Structure 1
Amino acid sequence: MTRILSSLADLAPRYQAVYCDIWGVLHNGIRPFDGAVAALSAFRAAGGKVILITNAPRPSAAVIATLDAMGVPRAAWDAVVTSGDAAQDAMLSGAVGRRVWHLGPAKDDGFFSDIPPEHRDSPAIERVPLEEAEGIVCTGPFEEMTEVPEDYRPRFLLAKTRGLPLLCANPDIVVDVGDQRIYCAGALAALYEEMGGQALYFGKPHPPIYDLAARRLAALGGAEEGRILAIGDGVNTDLVGAMGEDLDALFITGGLAAEHFGPDVETPDPALLEAWLSARQVAPLYAMGRLR
C-alpha cells in the first residue's frame, strides 16, 4: 500500500539522491512551488544529491536558464537532465537522418543550435521542408497553446507514406501551463504511431534519460544501490520509468492527476488514491499532495 507522506524530510535518512521531475513538481510553468524548493534545498543541505530530470525537449542549459528566470535557487539542485539532452544526442548521431523536418515551436531552436562539445565535429543536421526530409524531429506543436494532435494528421499521412521515422524529444502527452493544459510532443508521436508511423523516444519512461541521469549522478559522487528516490507527478512517465529502472518512487498527486484525489490538493484521499493507482497497475511506495 502506498504510504502518504507529509514531508520529504521523512525520507531523507533513507535516500542519498533523488531524481526529481520539474514541471508539475517544482513549478507549474509560471512560478515555482515554494514548498518544493524548500524541500529539495533541505535535502541537499543534509548531504543528499538532487538531479532534476525532465521531459523538456530542450538542452539542459535552456532549462537551467528558465529555472533561474523563475527564481528557483541553485541551492535546490545539483544537475539537470532533459529529454532534449538525450534526444539531441540521438539526432546528432544520425538516428533519423541528417536532413530533418522540425515539428516544434521556435523556442526549441536551441535543440539544433546549442551543440554539445562531443558533437562539434559531427556531420551537420539540416532542417528542411517535410517533402525533402529523411526524418522528423518533434519537440511539440508549432502553436502549442492552441493546436491539437489531429491538426497534424494530413502531414503525418505524407510522412508515414514516405516512411519517415519521428524522433520524439518529449514523451509527455500533456502539461499544465498555469491553469491551461497543452499538448506535448508525446501526443503527436502517439498519433503518428497510431497511423502506422515509427516513433523513437528518449525521455521518461525510456532508458536513455535515466542512463544520462546516472552518469551525471556518478560525476557527483554517486549513490548506493537502492538509495535513489524518483519523484514525479506523471504516472506514465515518472512512475512507469521508476518501475523500469527499479527505483523507489514518490508520486506527487497534486500535479497532472490532482482532480482524482479529492478536493484538497495538498492532502490526497487514501481510498481514492489506492483505487486510482490500482486501476493503472502502479504502486509507488510513497505519495504526497505537493512536494514539501
Structure 2
Amino acid sequence: MARIIHALSEIAQDYDALFCDLWGCVHDGVRALPEAVAALQDYRANGGSVVLVTNAPRQRASVQRQIEELGVPADAWDSIATSGDAARAALFTGAVGRKVWFVGQPHDEVFFEPMKLIEDPVAIERVALDEAEGIVCCGPFDPHAHPDEMRPQLEAAKARGLPLLCANPDVVVDRGESREWCAGALADLYEHMGGRSLYFGKPHAPIYDLARRRLTALEKDIPDARILCVGDGIATDVKGALGEDLDSIFIAGGLAAAETKTEKDPDPDALHAYLQREKIAPTYAMGKLR
C-alpha cells in the first residue's frame, strides 16, 4: 500500500526534481492553492527543481499566463511541459494530415499557432469534418455536455478512418466545485467505437520526454531515481509515473476525494480499497499538496 505522508517536506530530501501536475494540485481551475504553492516554494528554496507537467492542450506560454492569473507565483516552479506542446509537435509533423477538423473551445485555438522548434512544419488547414484527413481534439465544444452527444460526428469520422489527435488525455477536471469533461473523454469514446486516437499527455511517454528535456534546458542532469511525480489523476499522473519507472505521490484529495474519504488526509481503508480497485500502486499518498 502507498505510504501516507502529511507534507512534501517529509520526503523532499530524497528527490532533486518534481514533475508536478497543475490542475487539482497547484490550483483548482479558479485560484491557486496556498499550501501547495508554499510547498513548492520551500522545495525550490532547498535546491529542488519543479517542472509543472500538465495535460493542458495549449503551449507553455499560454499555461504560464493562466497560472499567473490564478495566483501561482513564478518562484514556485522552474519550467512547464504541456500536453499541448507535445501534441503540437506531432501536428506540425503531419501526424493527422494537413486538413483537420478542430474540436474545442475558442480559447483552445492557440493550439494552431506556429511552433518554432519544428523545422519545415506541415501547413495545417482547418476544415469541415467531411473534408478532413484527421481530427484535432482539445476538448468538447461544451465541457458540461456528455461525450455521447458527439457520437454521430465520431461515427462519421470513424467511417472515414480519421485519426484523432488528443491534446489532453484527462477525462474530467474539477473547476472549483464544477466537474467538466476533457478531450480524453472524447478520445476514449472514439477508441471504444473502433476509431484511432493518438495521445501525447500523461500517462503517455511523449510528455515525460518533454519534461526531461525541460530539466536538461535548466542544466540539470537528474537521474530518474531522483525524480518524483505529483498528481491527483490515478489514470494519468500515477499510471504515467509507473510507466516511466518514476516514484509518485497520489494527491487523494483531488479527483478521488470522495472515493478515498479525504478530508485533511485520506482514510487509510478507503484509500487502500480505491487503489485495489484501480489496480495501481503509487509510492506515496497525501490529502493535498502541502
TM-score by length of 1: 0.97
Give, in angstroms, the shift of residue 3 of structure 1.
1.1
Name the SS for the 2:12 alignment partner.
Answer: coil
What is aligned with 1:53?
A: 53
- In 1, the alpha carbon distance for the partners of 2:134 and 2:278 equals 33
Give, in angstroms, the shift of residue 120 of structure 1.
6.5
- In 2, the alpha carbon distance for the partners of 1:261 and 1:225 equals 29
Alignment check: 8 A CA contact 1:261 1:272 kept: yes
What is aligned with 2:121?
A: 122
What is aligned with 1:142?
A: 141
Alignment check: 8 A CA contact 1:101 1:129 kept: yes
Aligned counterparts, 1:93-242, within 5 A:
93-113=93-113, 115-119=114-118, 121-144=120-143, 146-220=144-218, 221-242=220-241
Alignment check: 8 A CA contact 2:96 2:133 kept: yes
Any runs of at least 4 consecutive aligned residues in structure 1 with deviations exceeding 3 A, and if so which?
A: none
Q: Deviations over 1:159-186 (max 9, x none)?
A: 1111100000000000001111111000
Identity over aligned pairs, percent = 55
Give, in angstroms, the shift of residue 117 of structure 1.
1.1
Give, in angstroms, the shift of residue 132 of structure 1.
0.5
Give, in angstroms, the shift of residue 224 of structure 1.
2.8
Alignment check: 8 A CA contact 1:253 1:265 kept: no
Equivalent residue for 1:282, pick from 280, 286, 289: 280
Give, in angstroms, the shift of residue 222 of structure 1.
2.6
Matched, 1:83 2:80: no
Alignment check: 8 A CA contact 1:99 1:134 kept: yes
Letter in 1 for 2:148: E
User: What RMSD over aligned residues (CA atoms) do the two structures have, in Å?
Assistant: 1.0
Alignment check: 8 A CA contact 1:171 1:186 kept: yes
Q: Which runs of 5+ in 1 are unaligned?
A: none
Matched, 1:6 2:6: yes
What is aligned with 1:244?
A: 243
Q: Deviations over 1:225-249 (max 9, x none)?
A: 4010000000100010000000001
Name the SS for the 1:166 alignment partner.
Answer: strand
Alignment check: 8 A CA contact 1:242 1:248 kept: yes
Give, in angstroms, the shift of residue 2 of structure 1.
1.3
Alignment check: 8 A CA contact 2:134 2:163 kept: yes
Q: Which runs of 5+ in 2 are unaligned?
A: none
Give, in angstroms, the shift of residue 223 of structure 1.
1.2
